[in-house]
């Protein structure tokens, strides 16, 4: 397996936050996305951001912006597909994804996903905690991108519905707080307390 590329998933509509870019909300002296990037960047050589709309609003991040290739806000799998298409254009074999609203994501996310895939003898792995699956944090093989495209075009929207077809390995993380995501104004206050 070649070194995976990183894709931060920020293609949603943030309806519970009132719309806009959750990742650009301030958390201490940085944005939520700054926290995500600071934790993910040391684990990967290259990171891109899956986001829809005008990419100019994200120019300060200095990341490649990848819009969904499936129209109509088809959920995180659409962002995964966009990342796989981008990775294919770069000659990469895998991507690792992380959600844009999770400022405390594990600093060992990538190696744990790779290890889980290796132990299971597969090339697809998802994260899990004692609270359940964290399916937007995964290791995804480029070889499955056409299968994923067909599934999305066929109406599949749930990550686990698609990954269960491909025997995804599970990387277990003991601390659910690492995957805390900011969905509402109250969550943002909680995250400020967690800092």
pLDDT one-digit tens code per residue, 98-141: 999 999 999 999 999 999 999 999 999 999 999 999 999 999 99
**Tokens describing residue 100:** 């844009």
Contact between 46 and 136 (Cβ < 8 Å): no
CA–CA dist 164, 42 (Å, integer): 30
**Dihedral sign, Cα of residue 169, residue 102, residue 23, residue 107:** negative
pLDDT for 16-73, tens place per residue? 444 568 889 999 899 999 999 999 999 999 999 999 988 899 988 999 999 998 877 7
pLDDT tops 80 at residue 2 = no
**Tokens describing residue 13:** 């509509």
Q: Among 170, 69, 166, 78, which Cα is nearest to 117's?
A: 170
Contact between 83 and 97 (Cβ < 8 Å): yes
Task: Count Cβ atoms within 10 A of the Cβ of residue 120 and give its class: 0-12 exposed, 13-18 middle, 19 or more buried.
Answer: middle
Contact between 133 and 126 (Cβ < 8 Å): yes
- Count the alpha carbons within 13 Å of 130 in the hemisphere toward its beta carbon: 4
pLDDT at residue 191, rounded to an integer: 92
CA–CA dist 58, 78 (Å, integer): 19
CATH superfamily of 5-189: Spore Coat Polysaccharide Biosynthesis Protein SpsA; Chain A (3.90.550.10)
Ranges of each domain in the chain: 5-189
């Amino acid at each position: 397996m070649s070194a995976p590329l990183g894709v931060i998933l920020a293609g949603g509509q943030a309806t519970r936050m009132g719309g806009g870019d959750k990742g650009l909300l301030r958390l201490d002296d940085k944005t939520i996305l700054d926290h995500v990037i600071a934790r993910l960047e040391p684990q990967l050589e290259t990171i891109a951001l899956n986001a829809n709309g005008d990419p100019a609003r994200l120019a300060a991040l200095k990341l490649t912006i990848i819009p969904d290739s499936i129209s109509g806000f088809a959920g995180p799998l659409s962002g995964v597909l966009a990342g796989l298409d981008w990775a294919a254009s770069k000659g990469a074999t895998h991507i690792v994804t992380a959600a844009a609203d999770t400022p405390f994501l594990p600093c060992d996310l990538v190696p744990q996903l790779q290890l889980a895939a290796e132990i299971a003898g597969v090339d697809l792995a998802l994260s899990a905690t004692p609270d359940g699956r964290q399916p937007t944090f995964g290791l995804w093989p480029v070889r499955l991108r056409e299968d994923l495209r067909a599934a999305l075009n066929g109406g599949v929207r749930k990550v686990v519905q698609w990954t269960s077809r491909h025997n995804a390995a599970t990387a277990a993380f003991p601390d659910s707080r690492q995957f805390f995501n900011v969905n509402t104004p109250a969550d943002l206050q909680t995250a400020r307390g967690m800092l």
